[in-house]
Chains A and B, each alone.
Chain A
C-alpha cells in the first residue's frame, strides 16, 4: 500500500479540503492505484538528468520578457469587490482570525 488513510487525511488538512468518510476511502484506494502506476518512473535512471524547470528555453525571449517596473493604472477594485462573497468596500470580509 502506497498511501494510508492517515496520509490522505493529513494531505486533505494541508489542502484545506473537507472530505467525507466515503470520499476519504474512495480517494485512498484510487490514489493508491495511481501512485502504484506512477512508481514506474523509478524504472528510469535519472541520476544525471536535470529536472525540467522551463518549458521552452527560447534564448531570444529570456531578456525580452523582462519589463521595466512601472506603476500603471489598474482601477478594478470596485468590479472585483462586487463579485466577492462578502465585501465591505474597500475590504473583503472574513470570519474573525485573531482571538482576543
Chain B
C-alpha cells in the first residue's frame, strides 16, 4: 500500500478489506521505527493502546457494522495533552515519568470516533517556544529540510504528519504553536476559536490563550478532525455551547464574492523576501477564485508581541506553580519543604520555562501589576477591537503565518526576544480568540515551505476551512 493516506482513503480501504486497521497501524509503526531516530518527532509510542483500538475497528469491519468517521485513522497526540496510561511529559524533565490518570476530552473524542493513537509527539517544554528546541528531549528535525527546525511548539505533531508517520495529529496553540509549525512543515494546521475545543486534559501553559487543534495532510482532513473534537464539554467551562456546523458540507461552498481583508501591518519590514513573494502570489490566487481583496488596517498589530508576552508569562507563572514535587513528577529531596520546592523546580524546569516564570512572576508582582499586566490586558482589548472592526468590512483576513521560512537548528536560540518576534503574525489572533489556519502556500526555491494564514470571525471556523480548501484545490500548495 502507498504512504499517502487520507481519512477517506483509510475508511474506503478498511471497508473494502484491502487492509485491516491492525495492518495499517503496523505499517505506520514500521515507518516510525525507520524515520523517528533521525527526526525525534515521537517521544512515546503506544502500541498496546493502538492494538486495542484496531481490534475494535477490525471487529466492526468483520461484522459489517457502520464505521465511525475516523475509523482506523492513525493519529499522534502532542505530549502536553493528557492520555490515560500513556506517559505525558510536556517535553519537560519535571514530568519525565508522569502518567495521566485520565484522557483529555479531545483524545477521548478522537478515540470514540475510531482514531488509533500511535503515540505522543515532541514539543517545546510546556509548549513554550517557536522552534521545538526547548524540549528536554532534544529538538525535532524538519522532515522537509533536516538542517532546519520544524517550528514550535507543536513541532513533533507537524513533523509526523509531514513525514507520513501519522495521518493526522493534535497540537496546541497559545501564540502560534499550531499554525507556525504547520507553515514550517508544509501541512495545513488549524486553531479553532477560543472555546471551540475543550481544554480539559490540556496541561495548561496560558489558560486564556491555549487551544487544541489539528494537523493533517489536507484541509478536508483538518475539518474532519475538528468536527470530532469541537463542541461543548461540561468539564471545561470555557468551552462554548455554540453549535458545531457540518464542516464537510461547509467546506465545499463556493468562495466567489467573499471579501478578504489584507492588513497592511502584516506586510511591513522584517518579512523575508521569499515569503513575501509566495504570499503575494497566494493572495492573487484568491482573486482568481473570485474573492474580493480589501485593504484594511489593524493599527495595534505592532503591540501584540509585547501584550502577549506579558499575559502568557503571567498566566504561565501561575499555572506552573503546581509543579511542587508533591503530587506528581520530579521531586528533589530536602529536609525543608520550601527548599524541596525550590530545588525541584530549579532542577526540573528548562531555561525557557524558568525565564518565563521569572518574567511572569515579575509582571504580576506588587508594584508592577498595573504597569505591565493590566496594561497588557488593556492592549489585548485594543487588538481584539482591531479584529471586530475588520470583520465588519470583510469575511476573513489573509496574512503570512510566519515572517520567515524555517530557520536553521541553533540559529536563534541565543536571543529569546528574537525568537519571540517570530510569532509576530500569529499572536494577534491568539489574543483576540479568533480562529485561524495555516495552509501551504508554495516553497521557496522549491525547498522551504511557506504558510498562508487565514483568520476568521469568532466561531467562523467553517468560513476559514472553506477558504483554505478552495485555496488548496486551486493549487495553493504549489504557487
Task: Write the chain B residue with the least CB distance to A85.
Answer: B331
A24 vs B392: C-alpha distance when bound (angstroms): 48
Looking at the complex, which of B56-64, B144-152, B337-345 is the stretch in contact with chain A?
B337-345
Looking at the complex, which of B322-330, B445-453, B464-472 is the stretch in contact with chain A?
B322-330
B234 and A67 contacting across the interface, CB-CB below 8 Å: yes
Closest-CB distance, B82 to chain A (whole angstroms): 12
A44 and B338 contacting across the interface, CB-CB below 8 Å: no
A7 vs B361: C-alpha distance when bound (angstroms): 11
A46 and B361 contacting across the interface, CB-CB below 8 Å: no
What is the size, in residues, of chain B's interface with A at 8 Å between Cβ atoms?
76
A49 and B382 contacting across the interface, CB-CB below 8 Å: yes
Asked whether B306 is an interface residue with its Cβ less than 8 Å from the other chain, the reply is: yes
Looking at the complex, which of B22-30, B237-245, B399-407 is the stretch in contact with chain A?
B237-245
B341 and A56 contacting across the interface, CB-CB below 8 Å: no
A37 vs B3: C-alpha distance when bound (angstroms): 46
Task: Write the chain A residue with the least CB distance to B330.
Answer: A85
Instruction: Provide the residues of chain A in CB contact with B102, threshold 8 Å.
Output: 76
**Contacts of A49-63 to chain B: CB distance below 8 A:** 49-53, 55-56, 58, 60-61
Asked whether B99 is an interface residue with its Cβ less than 8 Å from the other chain, the reply is: yes
Asked whether B66 is an interface residue with its Cβ less than 8 Å from the other chain, the reply is: no
Q: Which residues of A contact B (CB under 8 A)?
A: 3, 7-8, 10-12, 14-20, 23, 27, 30-31, 33-35, 37-44, 46, 49-53, 55-56, 58, 60-61, 64-65, 67, 76, 79-80, 83-86, 92, 94-97
Q: List 12 A-B contacts (CB under 8 A).
A: A12-B358, A16-B321, A19-B358, A30-B355, A34-B420, A44-B300, A46-B378, A55-B238, A56-B240, A56-B433, A61-B195, A65-B239
Q: Which residues of B contact A (CB under 8 A)?
A: 97-99, 101-102, 193-195, 208, 232, 234, 237-242, 300, 302-303, 305-307, 309-310, 317, 321, 324-331, 333-338, 340-343, 345-347, 349, 351, 354-355, 357-359, 361-362, 365, 372, 374-382, 384, 416-417, 420, 431, 433, 458-459
9 A-B pairs besides A17-B342, A50-B381 with CB distance below 8 A are: A14-B361, A15-B345, A15-B357, A33-B417, A35-B359, A55-B194, A61-B242, A64-B232, A95-B340
